[in-house]
Structure 1
């Protein structure tokens, strides 16, 4: 029988509380939560107490803990790169970093270098890439990456708290500050954050359909209040539309569509924080429609299962060059979208 893998969490916010801890609980003896670190000592203690784990407010304390074999990084985006690097240098067996892996091309390159030097495998928690419903469609889509000409991602969600509270009782949720639209840097910054925080879920999927993205060009970008974006861009000879808004909608909807002249793929994802099985994918031609999913497990569970398989030597680690290229693609799009919004940064445009 394989031994349980000890996990340490850097960051004890809603992602840890409402996504990863419930997922690990479903996996039974495969993992044991050993250490939880958060800058808020009370939150660290309370979340760790749920799992019977040690707690601290120090990254070094977690990395020095010999019971921690795998580090899960669920801290704010700005800290991801330095914490991934530190976990690799600490000689851990694997690192799971929430998306995005890095916030600059230089950070991504530094992560690639230290992972290659230490041999520590890195996973990025892009759950849609692991989703069984998506993967089943990929296995059957044939020439779609070559023949598709249009890609559309549409995300309409209420605030995350609605789903976080279904998953667990979240402690000390941070309030979302009211934007100061009189500051000309706000709308470009929020658009950039939207790409790196929300669109990032599906950008690896979109990139897998592109032959190249060095020709990426944003045609139009607009910030949508209270939080969202509408971005139209071209890359690799294809037209891509990203639309997202988080508001008080009663009906959540998360869809990715891919169009070719003779084939259409439609993927319906559950909202983040929802533990209700996989996506449902429909691959259609003029003659038939294949339906994949829903599977009983979701992408969160698959990513942890595959991490365990890598730690136990049963599976090859993820291709780090692919993960780094996903980051570069996202950053290229985020920067270009922010630049496009910066040309019309008025509060009226945000409304």
Structure 2
């Protein structure tokens, strides 16, 4: 059974991530409808995959050929579009991160999923990456974790977008003036909920509660540091976007007697899965080779659910809890920037 896909939003994520991913998945999916508020973008992107185009959400949701809806619109409309897709009776929804922008909106999605039985998967690619799946299993027995670190160093997205597709209608990159505490607070909220959020489900696995944000910093033109504490575990989030040629996206965990290092490819790169290693006093274990990445993992999960595996309420609850963790951390980091005191 080939599942028909309808896209709400035809911007960077749709063009440079999801369409190339679906092309690799062969007969599992077929794109049948593409919606975007820009009719020219919708029409051109749809023509690349032989799909219909529209500027109306309703046209996609009313299309009998659409089995799965991919919500790739701006975060402020995620809740309304996910709710509408669930009530339209589709087989599944893939919602790009963040699931919502507030906890209340995430709980609305949780409620509509429970009421309709329509599964919702959040497009946080690292949670579906084989490197993380392997690492999570390898570290299940770990206790006494001392430190968790997420480091993101990426070049401009355009570099990777252009390598993945002939890009159309690129939005401007957001600019932040970091000369006031209020501007730094807004910047930290932005980077936590749009970039650091990729790794926060992984961070939450080892540091389920953040007691306080100890220190924050922002560096021109686009760099950040958030240092937090949960119990006896320190959490360090760092990142930047710059013009260097070499990206660096790593996730690291240090326990009393072991060390985990996961190296992920940068966003928009389809080269393959991340790689992971666990080192103890007896040696280093490496993850086995894999033939797919986290983007494909998201869509494979949607395919499983849409083919009749009813959604597990715990999956949606985990997504809501991940968002709550991210929002709480973002607000605490912003407060720290504004007040200069731990929050």
Verify same fold: TM over 0.5: yes
- The DSSP-based 3-state class of the residue aligned with 2:168 is coil
Q: Would you say the 8 A contact 1:278–1:293 is kept in 2? A: no
Matches for 1:61-76 after TM superposition, within 5 Å: 61-76=59-74
Q: Does residue 161 of the first structure (1) align with residue 132 of the second (2)?
A: no
How far 1:314 moved relative to its partner?
Answer: 4.9
1:121 counterpart residue number: 119
2:273 counterpart residue number: 278
1:336 counterpart residue number: 332
TM-score, normalised on structure 1? 0.93
CA distance in 2, matches of 1:293, 1:194: 32
Taking a change above 3 Å as real, the CA distance of residues 25 and 122 of structure 1, as seen in their structure-2 partners, is same
Q: Would you say the 8 A contact 2:176–2:221 is kept in 1? A: no
2:98 counterpart residue number: 100
How far 1:226 moved relative to its partner?
Answer: 1.6
CA distance in 1, matches of 2:227, 2:176: 24
TM-score, normalised on structure 2? 0.95
- The DSSP-based 3-state class of the residue aligned with 1:204 is helix
Q: Would you say the 8 A contact 1:306–1:315 is kept in 2? A: no
- The DSSP-based 3-state class of the residue aligned with 1:257 is strand
- The DSSP-based 3-state class of the residue aligned with 1:208 is helix
How far 1:179 moved relative to its partner?
Answer: 3.2
Residue 287 of structure 2 is aligned with which of 286, 292, 297? 292
Per-residue deviation, residues 78-104 of structure 1 (Å, max 9, x unmatched): 111111111111111110001110111
CA distance in 2, matches of 1:128, 1:326: 13
Residue 237 of structure 1 is aligned with which of 232, 241, 248? 232
- The DSSP-based 3-state class of the residue aligned with 1:149 is strand
- Cα RMSD between the aligned structures? 1.5
Residue 222 of structure 1 is aligned with which of 217, 226, 233? 217
Per-residue deviation, residues 306-350 of structure 1 (Å, max 9, x unmatched): 211111125754611111000000000011111112236xxxxxx
CA distance in 2, matches of 1:127, 1:53: 25
Q: Would you say the 8 A contact 2:189–2:334 is kept in 1? A: yes
1:348 counterpart residue number: none
Q: Would you say the 8 A contact 2:117–2:311 is kept in 1? A: no
Unaligned segments of structure 2, at least 5 residues: none
How far 1:148 moved relative to its partner?
Answer: 1.1
1:179 counterpart residue number: 176
User: Which of structure 1's runs of 4+ aligned residues deviate more than 4 A?
Assistant: 180-184, 314-318
Per-residue deviation, residues 10-63 of structure 1 (Å, max 9, x unmatched): 110110001000000011111010111111100000000001111111111111
Matches for 1:192-203 after TM superposition, within 5 Å: 192-203=189-200
Q: Does residue 250 of the first structure (1) align with residue 245 of the second (2)?
A: yes
- Matched residue count: 339
Taking a change above 3 Å as real, the CA distance of residues 280 and 189 of structure 1, as seen in their structure-2 partners, is same
CA distance in 1, matches of 2:140, 2:191: 32
CA distance in 2, matches of 1:71, 1:228: 34
Taking a change above 3 Å as real, the CA distance of residues 156 and 44 of structure 1, as seen in their structure-2 partners, is same
Q: Would you say the 8 A contact 1:133–1:294 is kept in 2? A: no
CA distance in 1, matches of 2:174, 2:114: 39
Q: Does residue 188 of the first structure (1) align with residue 172 of the second (2)?
A: no
